[in-house]
Amino acid sequence: MKKDKNTPPNPEPPEKLTGLKTGSPKKTAAGIPAVISSAQHVFGAMGLGRGLKALAHLNQKSGFDCPGCAWPDPDDDRSPMAEYCENGAKAIAEEATTKKLDASFFKKNSISYLASLSDYEIGKKGRLAQPMFLPQGADHYEEISWEDAFKKIADHLNTLNHPDEAIFYTSGRTSNEAAFLYQLFVREYGTNNMPDCSNMCHESSGVALTDTLGIGKGSVKLEDFYETDLILILGQNPGTNHPRMLSALEKAKKNGAYIISVNPLLETGLLNFNNPQHLKGVLGFSTSLTDIYLQVKINGDMALLQALTKLLLNREDQAPGSVLDHDFIEKKTEGIDSYLAHIRSLDISNLIAQCGIPLGELEKVADIIASKPKMIVCWAMGLTQHKNSVNTIKELVNMLLLKGSIGKPGAGTCPVRGHSNVQGDRTMGIYEKPPKSLLDNLEKEFHFSPPRKNGYDTVESIKAMHQGEAKVFFAMGGNFLSATPDTLYTAQALQNCALTVQVSTKLNRSHLIHGKEALILPCLGRTDKDIQNGELQFVSVENSMGIVHSSMGSLPPVSDQLLSEAAIVCGLAKATLPNSKVNWDRYLQHYDHIRDSIEACIPGFNNYNQQVRQPAGFYLPNCARDNSYDTPTGKAKFSISKSEYVSLEEKELLMMTIRSHDQFNTTIYGLNDRYRGIYHERRVILMNEKDLQSRKLKNKELVDLYNYHDGKERIAKKFIVLSYNIPEKCCATYFPEANVLVPVGSTADFSNTPTSKSVVIQVKKHKSQESEIN
């Protein structure tokens, strides 16, 4: 069936309201409601037997790694039933559903129809069950064999003018084994165009930490939480996005740690925690987590940190040696004098205005920081997705260095990573700016010349496709259309391509907004049994704290037509590179062979096959953890940053796009955001009551949102205003509904991460006759 040329599918989630209900925000996270919620998801999607089996293997030493977040598993006391959390259970239910989408589904359902559904409805359709091909101009995917699918991609790749006209994206669930093979194939094919989700996520952390400490990863281990004096948590919502972190915070608290949270919203998970895995938690006894909560303005963190440092210096001046670790500073760092001079030159009243925290509060916090020798700083997207993110993270490092609070037990950096193997993918070489050493090693091991020029990152890829400079887009997982900024611009970019290919577990909008031709390649997920050559295989992943461990699926796959990601790369490589220097068949005989090649090319993987078989895995080397800094001078670096704040006009607000409690990135599990008291609706905008009044808006009134970056108008229609406890001039919407407003041209300095937490918008009453809420 041909497409109706007049109504092409809309790349945005539909502007349909679903029936908002509100309650008061919760004071305590987890507890019995969390257990009930996870049970509903797991057993609803999978049935009792499959559900119980999945939960019993989740995050156990011989089981599979949770496909949710990258928080590490405890080395010792894992809960015998399941080391799980509510949102881990939802991630599994989503992946291990028994509903499947085969050729008959796509015959029945046109692309135009599927694109008219919400992301929630699309996700609930089921698991992709066989390879599908979309011919040019068609509105229905058709079945295709794996062999023909590989041939089709190979034909496209081999007729490009240059390999740099192809783009190979990666989302962060891909195992180490598949990621290594993928980058190997892409580099033998001839390009470094390997953007990944990290470009939109913790790239700012990687850049800031590499520059200052010589390693782009965090330095702490889980045990450090149990012996620290102070934990600072900025721009992170662990109750929703890393629920198992709450158990670590609970234990830290019991051992006497102090917790300071910095966030424009009072996130429930940072307030109180009912541990559902302990009897006390089940009975309703909760642990209060945060001691001081700083309700900072959006993007006010750099000013906050600089103000605190000024106050710390006052204390040091009064009692020299009481705050700064002079010995550490002298032996291990560089740049202290100019840094201190810079901080002293700043005007504290400006800093206070920018962060919005009164001096009295700041003085209290400075007293605490001054008196606690061992400190851990945790952060996530609230810090990384702004224009000045890299400098803000460097300011955090400055504070740790002043106190010598790194490279020793109970102290250090903790960027809390997102996708379950996003860190491992980078370690395996999924990076558009590969280090020379990696390319040298590939050349030595495989005897081909890898391309030496840097490739496109995510934003550069979008622009290249938009300008017609890239023509084939291949995605190893993820949902590129919906996760990236400026939805309509990105849609145009993908539609310009000759071919778009998605290796996926679940249907999403990136299958529906596509190139002239398109392919869906269905793959095994974490929970699925992966059998190669008659033998059950395991893969390996690296968590947020640099532990590499194994993960083995335990459920029968929903279809016998699914291939592992590793098998897909091998099939594609063989079809595309007939004279390849790599023995791709051998890798599929046993994944140990892949691990041998990883060991040969990537530092830190000595005796990989033995080490990965240790039940709890093994730690990768980490210079900052060992108090040595792999920078050009061998010293950790103090950095000087001007405090920059987005200046807003009277009618403008600064918007952060955040996750609800019922989603994993673009996968929408449900319509509730239970902890924030928002139910059955995602098209909401949280605003301060004063900002409602100054715009003459009533609570729950319908509005349209506008962004005008670079002189272009971007509109997101039909959002419901909610008067909410959020600082003035700040507002919040959910990702991905609001991505249409995030300008592709607004990115962080040095990391090029889209500024998804600093979107300048205007809010206007909804223009329509039918302004009623359903």
Ligand X SMILES: Nc1nc2c(c(=O)[nH]1)N[C@H]1C(S)=C(S)[C@@H](COP(=O)(O)OP(=O)(O)OC[C@H]3O[C@@H](n4cnc5c(=O)[nH]c(N)nc54)[C@H](O)[C@@H]3O)O[C@H]1N2
How many C-beta atoms lie closer than 10 Å to residue 162's C-beta? Answer: 10
Calpha distance 26→239 (Å, rounded) = 11
Residue numbers 412-431 binding ligand X by CB under 6 A: 418-419
Q: Which residue, 174 or 219, is less far from ligand X as judged by CB?
A: 174
Which of Mo ion, ligand X, none lies near 240, with the C-beta cut-off 5 to 8 A by kind? ligand X
Q: What angle do CA 523, 526, 530 make, to 5 degrees?
A: 65
Stretch that binds ligand X, among 149-157, 230-238, 328-336, 694-702 (CB under 6 A): 230-238
Residue 30 DSSP label:
E
One character per residue 237-266, x = contact with ligand X (rule: CB under 6 A):
x--xxx-------------------xxxx-
Whether 300 and 262 have beta carbons less than 8 Å apart is answered as no
Per-residue interface string for the shown chain with ligand X, residues 16-35, x marking contact by CB under 6 A: --------------------
Report the site for ligand X in 58-117 (rule: CB under 6 A). 67-69, 87
Distance in angstroms (rounded) separating the CA atoms of residues 193 and 190: 9
Token pair in block for residue 495: 């539609």
What the block records as the tokens of 582 is: 């790599």
CB of 436 to ligand X, least distance (A): 27
Instruction: Closer to ligand X by CB, 232 or 612: give it.
Output: 232
Please state the closest distance from residue 664 (CB atom) to ligand X, in A.
Answer: 4
Cβ atoms within 10 A of the Cβ of 723, count? 18
Q: Which stretch binds ligand X (CB under 6 A): 55-63, 187-195, 592-600, 663-671?
A: 663-671
Closer by beta carbon to Mo ion, 333 or else 423: 423
Residue 565 binding partner per list ligand X, Mo ion, none, with a CB distance cut-off of 5 to 8 Å that depends on partner kind: ligand X
Question: What is the rounded distance in angstroms from the CA atom of residue 170 to the CA atom of residue 478?
Answer: 7
- With CB under 6 A as the contact rule, the residue among 286, 299, 427, 747 that binds ligand X is 299
Answer yes or no whether residue 743 interacts with ligand X by CB under 6 A.
no
Does 663 help bind ligand X (rule: CB under 6 A)?
A: yes
**Which residues, including other chains, have CB under 8 Å from residue 99's CB and lie 6 or more apart?**
45, 124, 125, 126, 127, 558
The size of the interface with ligand X (CB under 6 A), counted in residues, is 60
Q: CA angle at residue 278 from 274 to 282, to 5 degrees? A: 55
The answer to the question of residue 481 lying near ligand X (CB under 6 A) is no
We find the least distance from the C-beta atom of residue 689 to ligand X, in angstroms, to be 18
Site membership for ligand X, residue 678 (CB under 6 A)? no
The answer to whether the beta carbons of residues 526 and 95 sit under 8 Å apart is: yes
209 binds ligand X (CB under 6 A): no
CA distances from 250 to 213, 282, 310, 376 (A): 29, 15, 31, 15
Burial of 212: CB neighbours in 10 Å, binned 0-12, 13-18, 19+: buried
CB of residue 629 to ligand X, shortest distance in Å: 26
Of the pair 201, 442, the CB lying nearest Mo ion is at 201
Of 229 and 425, nearer to ligand X (C-beta) is: 425
- HSE at residue 264, side-chain half, CA atoms within 13 A, is 29
306 binds ligand X (CB under 6 A): no
* Residue 506, binding choice from ligand X, Mo ion, none, Cβ under 5 to 8 Å by partner class: ligand X
Cα–Cα distance measured from residue 410 to residue 229, given in angstroms and rounded to the nearest whole number: 7
Q: What six digits make up the tokens of 316? A: 């040091």
Nearer to Mo ion, 201 or 742 (CB): 201
Q: How far is the CB of 302 from Mo ion (least distance, A)?
A: 21
Q: Give the shortest CB-633-to-ligand X separation in angstroms.
A: 31
Residue number, 9 or 68, with CB nearest to Mo ion: 68
383: left (phi over 0), alpha (psi -120 to 50) or beta: alpha
Under rule CB under 6 A, residue 478 binds ligand X: yes
What is the closest distance, in whole angstroms, from the C-beta atom of residue 754 to Mo ion in the complex?
12
- Each residue 564-593 as x (binds ligand X by CB under 6 A) or -, in order, gives -x----------------------------
Contact yes or no for 521/563 (Cβ under 8 A) = yes
Shortest Å distance, C-beta 525 to Mo ion = 18
Among ligand X, Mo ion, none, partner that 664 touches (CB below 5 to 8 angstroms by kind): ligand X
- Measured from the CB atom, the residue of 382 and 743 that comes closer to ligand X is 382
Q: Looking at 50, 173, 466, 682, which residue binds ligand X (CB under 6 A)? A: 173
Of 59, 60, 171, 747, the one binding ligand X by CB under 6 A:
171
Selection from 755, 653, 756 nearest residue 703 by Cα:
653
Q: Which stretch, 104-112, 233-241, 272-280, 697-705, contacts ligand X (CB under 6 A)?
A: 233-241
Mark 109-143 as b/e (b = at least 16 C-beta within 10 Å).
bbbbebbbbbbbebbbbbbbbbbbbbeeebbbbee
Interface contacts to Mo ion, rule CB under 5 A: 201, 418
Structure tokens at 623: 């210079």
Check: CB of residue 220 under 8 Å from CB of residue 252: no
The verdict on 228 binding ligand X (CB under 6 A) reads no
Determine the Cα–Cα distance for residues 51 and 44; give it in Å rounded to an integer: 9
Q: How far is the CB of 70 from Mo ion (least distance, A)?
A: 9
Q: Tell me the closest approach of the beta carbon of residue 623 to ligand X, in angstroms.
A: 24
- CA distances (Å), 421 to each of 279, 384, 550, in order? 32, 18, 12
Closest CB 301 distance from ligand X, rounded Å = 5
Measured from the CB atom, the residue of 260 and 438 that comes closer to ligand X is: 260
**What is the identity of the amino acid at 518?**
A
Q: What is the footprint of ligand X within residues 502-531 (CB under 6 A)?
A: 503-506, 508, 523, 525-526
Q: Cα-Cα-Cα-Cα dihedral of 765, 768, 770, 774, to 10°? A: -50
Q: Widest CA span of the chain, in angstroms? A: 79
Distance CA 351, CA 357 (A): 9
Q: At closest approach, how far in Å is the CB of 322 from ligand X?
A: 28
With contacts defined by CB under 6 A, name the span among 21-29, 587-595, 660-668, 688-696 that binds ligand X: 660-668
- Provide the token pair at 54: 């999945």
CB of 423 to Mo ion, least distance (A): 11
The residue within the footprint of ligand X, chosen from 82, 197, 518, 744 (CB under 6 A), is 197
For the record, the structure tokens of 552 come out as: 């083995």
CA distance 590 to 732: 48
Q: How far apart are CA 459 and CA 738, in angstroms?
A: 17
Taking contact as CB under 6 A, which single stretch among the options 356-364, 402-410, 611-619, 652-660 is the one that binds ligand X? Answer: 652-660
- Shortest CB 666 distance to ligand X, Å: 3
Q: Which is nearer to ligand X, 242 or 253 (CB)?
A: 242
Stretch that binds ligand X, among 196-204, 556-564, 569-577, 634-642 (CB under 6 A): 196-204
Q: Where are the beta strands (DSSP E) in 456-587?
A: 472-476, 499-504, 517-522, 530-532, 535-537, 539-542, 547-551
Residue 24 C-beta: closest distance to ligand X, Å: 18
Binding residues for ligand X (CB under 6 A) = 67-69, 87, 171-173, 197, 200-201, 234-237, 240-242, 262-265, 267, 296, 298-299, 301, 380-382, 418-419, 476-480, 483, 503-506, 508, 523, 525-526, 565, 656-659, 663-667, 735, 739, 742, 756-757
